[in-house]
Chains A and B, each alone.
Chain A
Amino acid sequence: NAGVTQTPKFQVLKTGQSMTLQCAQDMNHEYMSWYRQDPGMGLRLIHYSVGAGITDQGEVPNGYNVSRSTTEDFPLRLLSAAPSQTSVYFCASWLGRAPTGELFFGEGSRLTVL
């Protein structure tokens, strides 16, 4: 099915471990982004990409790395996980032309850091 696919859906890490949250879209969208959702905080932008090879920081980028080697994939890397990174992570792509259009979200990845 077309859409934004995130893996894994659930992950438990220990402090200091590293991991990558995968995000793939098959809609040939140029813009992709990562958000984290914490209780009472809404969604906050971590990183975004306006096309292959181009990424930039959002509101809360510390502790996260991204790359965009292809249009389809936009992985989010945690190099040394911390309990403060316990959150639900959403990948999104932009459906339609900028500036009109809308964010199209994946189903989310719930990460717990012990």
Chain B
Amino acid sequence: AQSVTQPDIHITVSEGASLELRCNYSYGATPYLFWYVQSPGQGLQLLLKYFSGDTLVQGIKGFEAEFKRSQSSFNLRKPSVHWSDAAEYFCAVGEGSGGGADGLTFGKGTHLIIQP
């Protein structure tokens, strides 16, 4: 069974500093990988996704992520965070012919705190 690990439960970053959120997955074939963001009391919004091709993918709000097969990782990065980036971030993986349409496996999330 596939699984997703987000090693950091909480991360605190100063406004303007760079950010990297870690995500490791367990899956045999090439996975379908996603990062979602959830602001307090809100639903989830897709930041970016990876299916194939270029291993560095660009997303919304200035985020990017890099797929590294050798490390089974899909880390999320942003060069300079803004106070509005404070939120919960979820990494997710899909598999098979559905690619996740028949269900994604989510990590437990990383809570991002932005210091002024």
Contacts and interface: CB of A to CB of B under 8 A. Distances in A.
Interface of B: 4, 9, 32, 34, 36, 42-46, 49, 51, 90, 92, 94, 96-109
Nearest to B46: A102
16 contacts: A31-B102, A33-B103, A35-B106, A42-B4, A43-B90, A44-B106, A45-B104, A50-B101, A59-B103, A99-B97, A99-B99, A99-B100, A102-B34, A103-B46, A103-B104, A105-B44
Contacts of B92: 43, 103
A42 B91 CA distance: 9
Interface of A: 30-31, 33, 35, 40-45, 48, 50, 56, 58-59, 90, 94, 98-108
Contacts of A101: 99-101
A94 B102 CA distance: 9
Contacts of A31: 98, 101-102
Contacts of A35: 106
A36 to B, nearest CB: 11
Contacts of A56: 102
A64 B44 CA distance: 22
A90 B41 CA distance: 12
A61 to B, nearest CB: 11
A99 B104 contact: no
Contact of B43 (A40, A44, A98, A106): A106
Contacts of A44: 106
Contacts of A107: 42-43
A55 B48 CA distance: 28
A44 B109 CA distance: 12
Contacts of B109: 40, 42
B101 A94 contact: yes
A98 B103 contact: no
Given A42-B90, A107-B43, A98 B106 contact: no
Contacts of A33: 102-103
Contacts of A41: 108
A46 B59 CA distance: 28
Contacts of A90: 43-44
